[in-house]
Structure 1
Amino acid sequence: NVREIGKGNFGIVYYASYKGKRDIALKTLYIPDENTSKYSFDTYDENMHELLYEAHIMTQLKHPNLLRIFGVTFFGDKQQLSLVTDFMKNGSLLNYLRKYREIFLKSDSQIITRKLNNFGIQIFEAML
């Protein structure tokens, strides 16, 4: 039960169910294609290091409001390097803010400022 839920510059994000009990996301890394110049092996090597560094940083962050990482694996037929994380059913914070942008713009600016400051404080506390 795997389905694509997003694409980015570095790869594709998939939704999956782990043992039918936990919803997870797999953030994969594109694999270079020798037949096209679209994506080189040098770029892949750089992106692989970035993905592994992201995984390392994520293992250091512990907070109920931050995405939890379970590990790194190789996924799919092409054995793409992938981060395994909790699945965020409401999407990323950026997508959430974009989705409700109009509501935020119409709201009291002091309330919005307090909410955004609270987001920042929670992220900071998770990094301690």
Structure 2
Amino acid sequence: MPLEKPYASIPGTVIFDADQARVGYHLNQFCMSLMKADNRARFKADNRAYLDEWAMSEEQKQAVIARDYNRLLALGGNVYFLAKIFSSDGLSFQFAAATMTGMSQEEYAAMMLNGGRSPKNDHLLETKPHG
């Protein structure tokens, strides 16, 4: 019997719990592989070929290729592991977080300096591909 998750309905939020960790295990292991320069080079040379070496779902692979970070979170990705993807692309954590909220880096920084995202803006975390 699964445990009740009172946090499951927080708008715009994916909680990385044990279930998410199980779903995203191979995705997160792939992300960690990008810590090695030779793996980053192989990934950058041919995303698909490198992803096909991992036992990830097709949906996870497509989300990586699209750099759809919000979708990757929903598919079991942990943001600290996903950081390896955007770092491999030469992007900052702030840039990726801004992209995930649909804001510019400046808007995102100002929001965070002013106390963070308002619950009234939960629509900001809808799945939006990087691009």
Determine if the TM-score, normalized by the shorter chain, exceeds 0.5. Answer: no
Quick one: higher RCO (CA 8 Å, sep 6+), 1 or 2?
2
The structure carrying a bigger helix percent of its residues is 2
What's the TM-score, normalizing by structure 2? Answer: 0.24
The structure carrying a bigger strand percent of its residues is 1
Answer with 1 or 2: which has the greater Rg. 1
